[in-house]
Structure 1
Amino acid sequence: MDDDTTGTRPGAAAAAPDVQDAFGGLTPAEGLDLLRRGEITVEGRLTAASNATLYCTVSDGSRSAVCVYKPVAGERPLWDFPDGTLAGREVSAYAVSEALGWSVVPPTVHRDGPYGEGMVQLWVHGDTTVDLVALSREDDHPGLRRMAVLDAVINNSDRKIGHLLPTPGRHLYGCDHGVSFAEDYKLRTVLWQWRGQPLTEEALAALTEVRNRLRNPDDPLTAELAGHLTGPEVHAVRARVDLLIHHRIHPYPAPDWPSVPWPPV
């Protein structure tokens, strides 16, 4: 879906940090527009990825940026995610992040590219001086805690340390959300330091807003998720949000599912 259907919460954009350095001088809104309209040129491939992940530039003649392009044609079938596409799940994670108002996921779109339709996401020029292992263990980093809430909502089964993308301004992004949104509880993450602790008032307010929007079949967020996920998967998102609001705490690991991805980095 190329239209602006994420429906960011009112006031969220104004509250977003100045992260232009993370996107080569573009604001997130400018980057999102460029991703939708620009021409994609493949520069190389990230060979460590298990699915086709292409390092690209996107340009409209006056602006350019680095991006990641993951074509659906390069996805390997997964037995536990038989429906939909990994690209669609990545776009859905961005939609939820924006609906929460936290900009945890870099600007991401679903569009056609050199190898067919897929996910295209702005490349984050991160702060390479940050020790990611130490960062992943912090318990007082607001952005990290927001990411833990996002992962609980989308049921992220692969939050590794290497998926943390801190910017020079200390804003934190996360990437690689293709194995999210399963119906069954499969939360697998390195961010368990808040398990059982009360959710912040900020988190509860954001979750309540998302719950209200997911209850409206005409809301842009609902439409975006319905375009990429199955009906039961969308229902499961609503159920997870309801549970988080009801219990008002960060979730615990599942007793019958590995709680940390391997390798954790």
Structure 2
Amino acid sequence: MAAPDLIADELTLTGRITTASNATFLGSIGEVTVVYKPIAGESPLWDFPDGTLANREVASYLVSQVLGWNIVPRTWLRDGPLGTGMVQLWKEQDPGQNPVDLVASDNIPEAGWKAVLEGEDDNGRMVALIHEDSPALRRMAVFDVVVNNADRKGNHILAMADGHRHGVDHGLTFNSEHKLRTVLWGWLGDSLASEEREGIERVIEGLQGDLGRDLAELLAAEEIAAFHARCSVLRSAGRLPAPHGGMPSVPWPLF
């Protein structure tokens, strides 16, 4: 059987993901399972232009590809049953892995994990937000800095059985103002690894060529300029940043 044409073949809806804040559907193109987010189902936001979230999801995928880290599953724009929208390959995560977790504050693992913050749960018990200390997740933290991800929740990280980590839900990215909100703060102040530096260099170079041309069809000019500036600042600083500015540094809810 021939592989389906993911752009032209019929997209059939099979269900709705009701936990999403915007209209999000599970669908299929032939035998391929996908997520479909129609632009018409995007909720208005005070700090992002209307009708742009799908473009930002595709832009995030393009940057992920140039970085070379395969963070964002294949994502593209196409027509669907509810109009033009973002379509993304479905990734089946391993339910036995939790890259981000809440644990009792006196039960933080000694090795292999980073603590981000502490607080009280609904019963007044002290708990800690932690995430694994892995190269795959750290690359995602670098990616979030450069795309200015305003919504890296714990359940926006998909744990694959082989140890790879995919990131999803990138509609709140590429704002020209600082918006970074993430649960992945465990490496703040750490020097960039060589592969992270190399990835950022590829993006900066790509902005002068194909990546720059592709992003120009998806984002405003000032957003691309701010993106280039973030990459340049991160390259010059050579280390992962700490939270700054007046905005919250973590999303809410955390998961």
When normalised by structure 2's length, the TM-score is 0.85
Structure 1 Cα separation of the partners of residues 229 and 160 of structure 2: 32
**Contact 1:47-1:53 at 8 Å conserved across structures:** yes
Structure 2 counterpart of 1:54: 25
Whether 2:219 is the aligned partner of 1:229: answer yes
Greater share of helix residues, 1 or 2?
1
Structure 2 Cα separation of the partners of residues 177 and 170 of structure 1: 21
Greater share of strand residues, 1 or 2?
2
Partner SS for 1:66:
strand
Whether 2:146 is the aligned partner of 1:153: answer yes
1:228 maps to a residue whose letter is L
Structure 1 Cα separation of the partners of residues 134 and 5 of structure 2: 31
Whether 2:76 is the aligned partner of 1:76: answer no
1:56 maps to a residue whose letter is G
Moved more, 133-142 or 67-76: 133-142
Residue 202 of structure 1 and its aligned partner are, at CA, apart by: 0.5
Deviation per residue, 1:160-199 (Å, 9 max, x gap)? 0000101111111010000110011110000000111101
Residue 77 of structure 1 and its aligned partner are, at CA, apart by: 1.4
**Contact 1:92-1:225 at 8 Å conserved across structures:** yes
1:190 maps to a residue whose letter is V
Residue 255 of structure 1 and its aligned partner are, at CA, apart by: 3.4
Structure 1 Cα separation of the partners of residues 36 and 66 of structure 2: 23
2:149 maps to a residue whose letter is N
Deviation per residue, 1:194-236 (Å, 9 max, x gap)? 111101111001101111121x1xx221122111110000001
1:77–1:83 CA distance, 2 compared to 1 (3 A) = closer
Residue 139 of structure 1 and its aligned partner are, at CA, apart by: 5.1
1:170-249 to 2 correspondences below 5 Å: 170-214=163-207, 216=208, 219-249=209-239
Structure 2 counterpart of 1:41: 12
Whether 2:240 is the aligned partner of 1:250: answer yes
2:250 maps to a residue whose letter is V
**Which structure carries more relative contact order (alpha carbon 8 Å, separation 6+)?**
1
Structure 2 counterpart of 1:11: none
> 2:85 is matched with which residue: 118, 128, 146?
118
RMSD value, Cα: 1.6
**Contact 1:198-1:249 at 8 Å conserved across structures:** yes
Moved more, 177-186 or 139-148: 139-148
Whether 2:147 is the aligned partner of 1:166: answer no
Residue 137 of structure 1 and its aligned partner are, at CA, apart by: 3.1
Structure 2 Cα separation of the partners of residues 110 and 160 of structure 1: 24
Partner SS for 1:235:
helix
**Contact 1:83-1:230 at 8 Å conserved across structures:** no
Deviation per residue, 1:41-71 (Å, 9 max, x gap)? 0011111111110111111xxxx11110000
Q: Which has the larger radius of gyration?
A: 2
Deviation per residue, 1:3-23 (Å, 9 max, x gap)? xxxxxxxxxxxxxxxxxxxxx
Residue 83 of structure 1 and its aligned partner are, at CA, apart by: 5.4
Residue 39 of structure 1 and its aligned partner are, at CA, apart by: 1.9
Structure 2 Cα separation of the partners of residues 81 and 140 of structure 1: 32
Deviation per residue, 1:50-101 (Å, 9 max, x gap)? 1110111111xxxx11110000011111110025510000000000000000
Residue 133 of structure 1 and its aligned partner are, at CA, apart by: 2.8
Task: List gaps (5 residues or longer) in structure 2.
Answer: 102-112, 114-128
When normalised by structure 1's length, the TM-score is 0.82
Task: List gaps (5 residues or longer) in structure 1.
Answer: 1-29
Deviation per residue, 1:25-48 (Å, 9 max, x gap)? xxxxx7xx7432432100111111
1:84–1:42 CA distance, 2 compared to 1 (3 A) = closer
1:34–1:198 CA distance, 2 compared to 1 (3 A) = farther
